[in-house]
Amino acid sequence: MLEVKNLTKYFGGLAAVQNLSFKVEKGQIFGLIGPNGAGKTTVFNLINGFYPPTSGEVLFRGEPITGRKPNEVCKKGIARTFQVVKPLSRMTVLENVMVSAFCRVNSINEAREEALEALEFCGLTHRQDSLAKSLTIGDRKRLEIARAMATRPKAILLDETAAGLNPAELDQAIFLIKKIREQGVTILIVEHIMKVIMSISDRIHAINYGQTIAEGTPQEVANNKSVIEAYLGEAYA
Amino acid sequence: MERKRQFKDFLPWLILAGLALVPLFLNNPYFLHMIIMVFIWVCLGQSWNLLGGFTGQVSFGHAAFYGVGAYAGGLLAFHFDASTWYGMILGPLMAMAVAVPMGLICFRLRGSYFALSMLALAELLRLIATNWISFTNGSVGILIVPTAGKVFYYYLALALAALSFSVIRGVVQSKWGFYFVAIREDQEAAESMGIDTTKYKLVSLLISAFFTGLTGAFYMNYMAFIDPSVVFALTDVSIMMILVVMLGGAGTFYGPAIGAVIMVIFSEVFRIYFGSANLLVLGVLIVLIIIFIPNGLMDIREYLTRRKYA
């Protein structure tokens, strides 16, 4: 479905992502983990087209999308959310999602219908007429997902959707992510909160300093020596 | 609520009908002229507002499009003795032709490049129009014989204002309008939602340039005289357009119209009472606007109504 091949990105002399390869199967929830600054968001920006990679390739459904612009990647069927949420502040929640829906439809009415559906899906219907800037952080994260879903994606990149949520909201977020998978959408997720990533991922890829340190099932990765080392230091490994 | 919405729908038509009746009662050419100037500024304000207010791409040099629109007809008359009315077709098209390379170059970049490039473009065109005397007649300007009466110009200006208002309103309420506002609010988010931001900024610029050029062409016909310092003016056109929009409220439908009414009246009154110091007074006014109503007069209305319903 989504394949990353020897992806490398240098910012000046700094290798943010180095020779990274992984493969996400259709319908999978694929977790990408790593300590702060490991390069997770950079990987998203490379897939999504915000940065061109220094070298390497991104394949989506067998087709290379390397170097495509973000709007083209979105049209191909890869949607994303942002870790630092980017609501269109002075638009209402409904209008925010309508902008996304216009990715697939042209008329105002169709866009409104699609947007309402996405809001319903994410449990934001009651806030549809609020200005996006008035939302709580939890609702802003939902808005990110609603916007991504309204583009009718085949795959979705979730960047720390659960960060900053309280325990009740966390459970709702996990529920929502599982619901996205039930829609047949493949999910690539970056997450720091282990409760979330361990309980929902089919497969986890761990990176540090932009390089692969482990890949496997959540259980395998959790017990991997290099992963423990990267997170807790050598003394605990 | 339902009743109120219905009244709002009729309001533009009521205003239009009221304005259409004005020349039947008012024969004073001075007042007709003032209202025509208001219409001109409504068009210019709407044009700037689409790009600056809704799409978030601030231009410091919209006089470039205004001047090109005016000179298109003027040059036809100057070189070929043709009617300046052809300028009403050629002017807006020429303004768009000037806008295309500007957009293609500047909209790939973010930040203030576009605003400053527009400023440079307008000044550049002013200097060319001043110094290329064989082509433009230089600072002597282009003088034509007016071809119609004041009342005719009044109705034409009214039609232009209504056209620019309704077209831009239609655009803003369509898919394009949603895209424009999304680009203004967050360009990265807009891109990730499938919006080709460079393309849609260009679309917004072209519509804006079209109506600015059209208004410039009308000005040529109406005033029957243009020179580079009038139509390519930095303060009196480029900056004034921004002020009209800021005063009324950027990114609102009625803001530029309200701003146009107030600006035209104020600058006329200031000119009468303060003579050459009128710009100084205007400057003080601008400072007051920025301090007390940074979001424009439309914001005051919203502020009051929210208070009432709260």
Two structure tokens written together for B280? 């100084």
> Is residue A229 within 8 Å of A237, Cβ to Cβ?
yes
Residue of chain B whose Cα is closest to the Cα of A152 = B193
Residue B299 contacts A where some CB pair is shorter than 8 Å = no
Q: In chain B, what residues touch A111 (CB-CB under 8 Å)?
A: 175, 178
| Cβ contact B182–A106 (<8 Å) | no
Same domain, residue pair A34 and A95: no
For B91-128, give the DSSP string: HHHHHHHHHHHHHHHHTTS-TTHHHHHHHHHHHHHHHH
Per DSSP, what are the bridge partners of residue A22? A4
> Is residue A161 within 8 Å of A173, Cβ to Cβ?
yes
Residue of chain B whose Cα is closest to the Cα of A47 = B192
Residue A92 has what DSSP assignment?
B
Tens of pLDDT, residue by residue over A199-228, are: 899 999 999 988 999 899 998 988 888 888
Q: Looking at residue B146, what is its pLDDT?
A: 83
Per DSSP, what are the bridge partners of residue A59? A3, A64
- Nearest CB to B192; choose among A48, A98, A108: A48
CA distance B24 to chain A (A): 41
- At B301, is the pLDDT very low, low, confident or very high (cuts 50, 70, 90)? low
Same domain, residue pair A119 and A46: no
Look at B52-61, B143-152, B188-197 and tell me which has the smallest mean pLDDT: B143-152
Q: In chain B, what residues touch A65 (CB-CB under 8 Å)?
A: none
Residue from B253, B256, B182 nearest B8 by CA: B253
Average pLDDT (B218-231) is: 93
Residue B52 has what DSSP assignment?
I
Same domain, residue pair A39 and A25: yes
Task: Indicate if the pLDDT at residue A51 is higher than 80.
Answer: yes
| Cβ contact B178–A102 (<8 Å) | yes
CA distance A123 to chain B (A): 20
Whether A236 is covered by a domain: the verdict is yes
Domain containing residue A229: CATH number:
3.40.50.300
CA distance A71 to chain B (A): 4
List the single best residue of A84, A88, A96 to mutate versus B (max B Cβ within 10 A): A88
Q: Looking at residue B2, what is its pLDDT?
A: 45
**CATH architecture classification, B29-309:** Orthogonal Bundle (1.10)
Instruction: Give the N- to C-terminal CA distance of chain A in Å, as an integer.
Output: 34
Two structure tokens written together for A227? 């992963």
Task: Indicate if the pLDDT at residue B3 is higher than 60.
Answer: no
Same domain, residue pair A106 and A160: no
Average pLDDT (B82-90) is: 91
Residue from B198, B201, B191, B243 nearest B54 by CA: B201
Q: In chain A, what residues touch B183 (CB-CB under 8 Å)?
A: none
Domain count of the fold of chain A: 2
Residue of chain A whose Cα is closest to the Cα of B200 = A71
Average pLDDT (A11-25) is: 91
Q: Looking at residue A65, what is its pLDDT?
A: 92
Q: In chain B, what residues touch A70 (CB-CB under 8 Å)?
A: 188, 191-192
Tens of pLDDT, residue by residue over B173-213, are: 999 999 999 999 999 999 999 999 999 999 999 999 999 99
| Cβ contact A108–B188 (<8 Å) | no
List the single best residue of B188, B193, B195 to mutate versus A (max A Cβ within 10 A): B193
Cα–Cα distance for residue pair B89/B222, rounded to 1 Å: 15
Whether A148 is covered by a domain: the verdict is yes
Residue of chain A whose Cα is closest to the Cα of B196 = A71
Cα–Cα distance for residue pair B159/B154, rounded to 1 Å: 9
Q: Looking at residue B304, what is its pLDDT?
A: 58
Same domain, residue pair A54 and A159: yes
Of A152, A173, A189, the one marking the end of a domain is A152
Same domain, residue pair A59 and A90: no
Q: In chain B, what residues touch A98 (CB-CB under 8 Å)?
A: 178
Q: Looking at residue A145, what is its pLDDT?
A: 95
Whether A134 is covered by a domain: the verdict is yes
Q: Looking at residue B307, what is its pLDDT?
A: 46
Tens of pLDDT, residue by residue over B265-298, are: 988 888 888 877 777 877 887 788 878 887 888 7
Task: Indicate if the pLDDT at residue B5 is higher than 70.
Answer: no
Across the A:B interface, residue pairs with CB atoms under 8 Å apart total 75
Range of the structural domain that residue A144 is part of: 78-152
> Is residue A132 within 8 Å of A93, Cβ to Cβ?
yes
CA distance A178 to chain B (A): 22
Same domain, residue pair A12 and A50: yes
Q: Looking at residue B116, what is its pLDDT?
A: 93
Same domain, residue pair A25 and A55: yes
SS3 B232: coil
Same domain, residue pair A119 and A159: no
Of A152, A172, A200, the one marking the end of a domain is A152
- At B309, is the pLDDT very low, low, confident or very high (cuts 50, 70, 90)? very low
Average pLDDT (B148-152) is: 88
Whether A214 is covered by a domain: the verdict is yes
Same domain, residue pair A99 and A116: yes
Whether A174 is covered by a domain: the verdict is no
List the single best residue of B54, B175, B192, B196 to mutate versus A (max A Cβ within 10 A): B192
Residue from B13, B6, B11 nearest B162 by CA: B13
Residue B182 contacts A where some CB pair is shorter than 8 Å = yes
Beta strands in A12-69 (DSSP E): 14-24, 29-33, 55-60, 63-64
Same domain, residue pair A192 and A131: no
Whether A72 is covered by a domain: the verdict is no
Q: Looking at residue B303, what is its pLDDT?
A: 59
Q: Looking at residue A237, what is its pLDDT?
A: 62
The three state secondary structure string of A148-165 is HHHCCCCEEEEECCCCCC
Q: Looking at residue A163, what is its pLDDT?
A: 84
CA distance B175 to chain A (A): 7
> Is residue B159 within 8 Å of B152, Cβ to Cβ?
no
- For chain B, the domains span 29-309
Tens of pLDDT, residue by residue over A68-112, are: 999 999 999 999 999 889 999 999 999 999 999 999 999 999 999
pTM equals 0.91
| Cβ contact B182–A50 (<8 Å) | no
Tens of pLDDT, residue by residue over A134-187, are: 999 989 999 999 999 999 999 999 999 888 888 888 889 999 999 999 999 999
Residue B172, amino acid:
V
Residue from A83, A61, A86 nearest A155 by CA: A61
